[in-house]
Chain A
Amino acid sequence: MTRFKTPKLLITAAVVYGVIQALYSLGIINGYILHIINQSLIYVILAASLNLINGITGQFSLGHMGFAGIGAYVSGTLTTLIFKLNPSIPGSYLLFIVAILAGGLVAALVGFLIGFPSLRLKGDYLAIVTLGFGEIIRTVFNNIEYVGGPRGLLGIPKFSNFTVIFIVTFLSVAVIRNIIQSPHGRAMLSIRENELASELVGINTTRYKVLSFATGAFFAGIAGGLFAHLLQLAHPTQFGFSKSVEILIMIYAGGVGSLTGSIVAAFALTFLSEGLRLGIRALADATGLPIGGEWRMVIYALLLIFIMLFRNEGLMGTKESKVILIEEAD
């Protein structure tokens, strides 16, 4: 007999959505805070998908934002230049979803194309290849006049609102969680733990490394698409190496291999970064000291050093909250 299991993740998500929506309509959360929440949610997708590659499968990728860039540019080009969509027309959301999915799929395809040759080899080849990939993709966007070149792709319609972002983030996390907690996810974990042993219990390690990498790239592409339609802009500098490192920092701060950690860290670090910006400005105004916004990065970096010193497994380690874990029947 199968016992009905309460979908904890769905219920939790619905409650969180309801609370934020209510606070916003009551005016307790202003538009600025909601914007940061939106950004945090997109970072959740980026961190969770990179965690699938780095934390679960143990493959070191340094170009995650490159895939987000592909998603942003592909979906942005579709909605802005090809479909010429207008969000005020109700039906246009359907084409927006098509555009976002197309961005994810193209990112996944590119992920497959660069992942397949480099992941067949054992070792850190992926890190080198993805490092190069991130730079190449940035340069490519910079030089395609059709999508704005160095000016970036401007005038992207604003389709990403809180509801859209929340639903897409929820679905992405749920899908990644369901992959991790399945034979496929366990196969990926075994590669992280010991690639040779994994191969010698019958796991096709190349297949799973490529699968994990392409899946991660897909969700990064989705996240990039959401970003472009939130900021109404896709710009080459948004997707460079330093941005990829920011996502890496999120998964290391949250705990490598923990989805819960990725979610917590994406929110914590996005809010921290914004909070520091405001805090430093307030401090400068109050004291008259000549401290500028750039000190934000110094404090941010120091905090990360402290996390790594005193909690080097990240906030969550490899543990998952009960909301993320799927109960198993005995």
Chain B
Amino acid sequence: MPALMTIQGMTHYFGGLRAVSNFGCAIQEGSIYGLIGPNGSGKTTIFNLITGIYKPTEGKILFDERDITAEKPYKIVQGGVARTFQNLRIFSNLTALDNIRIARQSSEKSSLASSILRTPGFLGEEKRIRKESLDLLDLMHLSDRAGEMAKNLPYGELRRLEIARALATNPKLILLDEPAAGMNPKEVEDLMSLIQRVRDQFKVTVFLIEHHMKVVMGICEYIKVIDFGETIAEGLPTVVGKDPKVLEAYLGKRGA
């Protein structure tokens, strides 16, 4: 089976600083792929490169057998790559429902004229978007928050809202940037089962950046470890967890 996403030789410079160096990966459809590494090792930059916020200095990103390296961010999302952010980027002054609807509607094509005239076709489309968005909120156990301003939701619910918003774009691949950040142990448990449930229910592939070792070791099927933009280890969780280079990157040299 061909990989859903393949990245080849991706390098990115910020001025003279090499943030990502010769990064490559092949992510199989339906898998949960983990990317770990210490702070500042270039993980989020890799997400920003995949989603088109930055264009890589070198290298190629193939998604769904298409080269998306030079594509605009919104096109990449419409093509099936959704993401969440390390420090939430919620539409704070809009309701939870509207947060989802905005993501849900991007695929639809009701024209400006039909919205102004409120044609039956437009109203039907609005109804569909609304229903599907409410269903998504329900799945994330947020249905009682639909009419609430997003800024009034607690942190844990905002994390779920952001995942719901990413799913609303109908992705094949979802990039989760430190979803467990700032969560307590109970919330982390719930998150892990949520990610697995999302993968099974929506048939999406998950690409995950995480610091929380329990999450990474618990749900990822393949792990890649980077440090200073370079890959230092990769493989199954059990193997990577014992790799001396990984331990060194995270814990420092023995006896140092």
Contacts and interface: CB of A to CB of B under 8 A. Distances in A.
B116 interface: yes
A201 B82 contact: yes
Contacts of B94: 186, 189-190, 193
Given A183-B129, A186-B102, A200 B73 contact: yes
A179 to B, nearest CB: 6
Interface string A163-199: 0000000000001001100111111011001101111
Nearest to B107: A202
Contact of B92 (A182, A193, A202): A193
Contact of A328 (B91, B122, B130, B166): B130
Interface string B88-128: 01111110001001110111101010011110001100110
B102 A190 contact: yes
A179 B112 contact: yes
Nearest to A180: B115
A328 B118 CA distance: 12
A2 interface: yes
A185 B129 CA distance: 14
B78 interface: yes
Chain A interface main SS type: helix
B91 A193 contact: yes
A178 B118 contact: yes
Contacts of B110: 182-183
A183 B127 contact: no
A194 B105 contact: no
A204 B123 CA distance: 22
A199 B73 contact: yes
A186 B83 contact: no
Contacts of B89: 194, 196-197, 200
Nearest to B77: A202
B111 to A, nearest CB: 9
Contacts, number: 95
Given A183-B129, A193-B91, A194-B90, A201 B102 contact: yes
Tier of interface size on chain B: 35 or more
B21 interface: no
B11 interface: no
Contacts of B129: 183
Interface string A124-166: 0000000000000000000000000000000000000000000
A189 B112 contact: no
A183 B100 CA distance: 11
B78 A202 contact: yes
Contact of A179 (B93, B98, B115, B165): B115
A186 B100 CA distance: 11
B169 interface: yes
A185 B122 CA distance: 14
B123 A2 contact: yes
A205 interface: yes
B91 A197 contact: yes
Contact of A204 (B74, B90, B115, B130): B74
Interface residues of A, number: 28
B165 A201 contact: yes
B123 A202 contact: no
Q: Which of A179, A193, A211, A318 has the most CB of B within 10 A?
A: A193
Contacts of A201: 77, 82, 102-103, 106, 165-166, 168-169
Contact of B116 (A179, A183, A211): A179
Contacts of B77: 199-202
A202 B115 contact: no
A175 B110 CA distance: 16
Interface string A211-227: 10000000000000000
Contacts of A196: 53, 89
A278 to B, nearest CB: 39
B51 interface: yes
Nearest to B151: A193
A199 B165 CA distance: 13
Given A189-B91, A203-B106, A197 B118 contact: no
Contact of A202 (B74, B90, B130): B74
A2 to B, nearest CB: 7
A328 B122 CA distance: 13
11 contacts: A182-B116, A183-B108, A183-B126, A186-B94, A187-B106, A189-B102, A194-B91, A200-B73, A200-B74, A201-B168, A329-B127
Given A194-B89, A329-B127, 4 more contacts: A178-B117, A179-B115, A189-B94, A200-B89
The 8 A-B pairs at the shortest CB distance, nearest first, are namely A202-B106, A182-B115, A193-B91, A197-B89, A201-B103, A202-B77, A183-B105, A190-B102
